[in-house]
């Protein structure tokens, strides 16, 4: 019984961690993308 | 939209697969409870082969078309490959301890599966050492194609060589109870849909990564 619980925990734990890492990476990248878009917008504005 | 549908479908199928594996499928006379590990171990092994072929296919398509979308698919396939290979090896090891009395045996199937896992890791190491985007995609594509070589040897290893690993349960003479077979198909479907969902999420992230890389390049060029 304990081996079954251990094996299923590995499978579902691994899928959960993989999914969580994907969402965390997406959130981080979207934040960075917004920052970079702001920087590009500022840089493309005509300077006085 | 596709991603959302796949996400919901994978959740529903996973619950159903757990019911089939833990309640619906009959008990195995010799092994007892640990045999139920196969309902997720076998599909994970098959999906690791699918990942290797997907990686190789994406590599070939990139070499022909030179379109970076194939490189993005290759990255997603390789990441899933790491996940599926690791899960199949670890759950196999957990199953082996009560059945064989050992955690690990250096037989052909298990060693080739370990090699497949190391191949996926080597793929990411190769990518990490190549800073140029185009060159990285080209060399990674060539390397990715090589991974497909492991799969047929791995798949037929239990027939070609004397191994400790059990013989195939799904092909070769109906050696499995129909209810067990159905439970195995359901869990395989659930894990396939889950992997498809994870792949669509990963592809979306890869597109954002490229946009970030492009904008960073633009900002640095402006400074």
Residues in A closer than 8 angstroms to B97, CB to CB, are: 3
Query: What is the pTM for the complete model shown?
Result: 0.89
The alpha-carbon gap from A26 to the nearest alpha carbon of chain B, in Å, equals: 6
Q: Where do runs of H (alpha helix) occur along A1-47?
A: 2-44
Closest-CA distance, A3 to chain B, in angstroms, reads 6
B201 touches chain A (CB under 8 A): yes
- Structural domain boundaries of chain A? 1-48
ipTM: 0.87
Q: Could you tell me how far CA A13 lies from the centroid of its own chain? A: 17
Q: Say yes or no for a CB contact (<8 Å) between A10 and B91.
A: yes
Q: Decide if B34 contacts A4 (C-beta within 8 A).
A: yes
A18 contact residues in B (CB cutoff 8 A): 79, 83, 198
- Give the start-to-end residue ranges of the domains of chain B: 2-25+35-163+176-221
In DSSP notation, B114-182 reads HHHHHHHHHHHHHHHT--SHHHHHHHHHHHHHHGGGHHHHHHHHHHHS--SSPPPSSSSS--S-HHHHH
CA nearest to A39 within chain B: B219
Contacts of B211 in chain A (CB under 8 A): 33
The answer to whether the CB of B211 falls within 8 A of the CB of B24 is: no
Going residue by residue through chain B (223 aa), what tens digit of pLDDT does each one get? 788 899 999 999 999 999 999 999 888 888 888 889 999 999 999 999 999 999 999 999 999 998 889 999 999 999 999 999 999 999 999 999 998 888 988 988 899 999 999 999 999 999 999 888 888 889 999 999 988 888 888 888 888 887 778 777 666 555 778 889 999 999 999 999 999 999 999 999 998 988 888 888 888 776 6
């Amino acid at each position: 019984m304990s081996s079954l619980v251990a094996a299923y925990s590995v499978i579902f734990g691994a899928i959960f961690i993989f999914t969580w890492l994907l969402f965390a990476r997406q959130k981080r990248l979207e934040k960075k993308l917004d920052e970079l878009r702001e920087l590009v917008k500022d840089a493309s504005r005509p300077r006085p | 939209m596709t991603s959302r549908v796949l996400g919901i479908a994978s959740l529903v199928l996973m619950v159903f697969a757990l019911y089939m594996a833990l309640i619906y499928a009959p008990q195995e006379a010799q092994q007892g409870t640990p045999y139920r590990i196969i309902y997720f171990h076998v599909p994970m092994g098959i999906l690791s082969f699918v990942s290797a072929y997907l990686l190789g296919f994406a590599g070939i398509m990139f070499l022909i078309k030179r379109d970076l979308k194939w490189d993005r698919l290759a990255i997603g396939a390789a990441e899933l490959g790491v996940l599926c290979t690791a899960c199949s090896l670890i759950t196999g090891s957990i199953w082996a301890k009560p059945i064989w009395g050992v955690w690990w045996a250096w037989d052909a199937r298990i060693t080739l599966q370990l090699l497949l896992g190391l191949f996926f890791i080597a793929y990411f190491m190769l990518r990490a050492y190549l800073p140029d985007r185009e060159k990285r995609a080209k060399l990674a594509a060539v390397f990715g194609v090589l991974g497909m070589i492991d799969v047929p040897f791995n798949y037929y290893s239990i027939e070609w060589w004397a191994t400790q690993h059990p013989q195939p349960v799904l092909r070769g003479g109906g050696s499995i109870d129909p209810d067990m077979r159905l439970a195995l198909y359901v869990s395989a479907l659930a894990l396939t849909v889950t992997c498809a969902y994870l792949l669509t999420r990963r592809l979306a992230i890869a597109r954002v990564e490229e946009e970030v890389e492009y904008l960073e390049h633009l900002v640095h060029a402006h400074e």
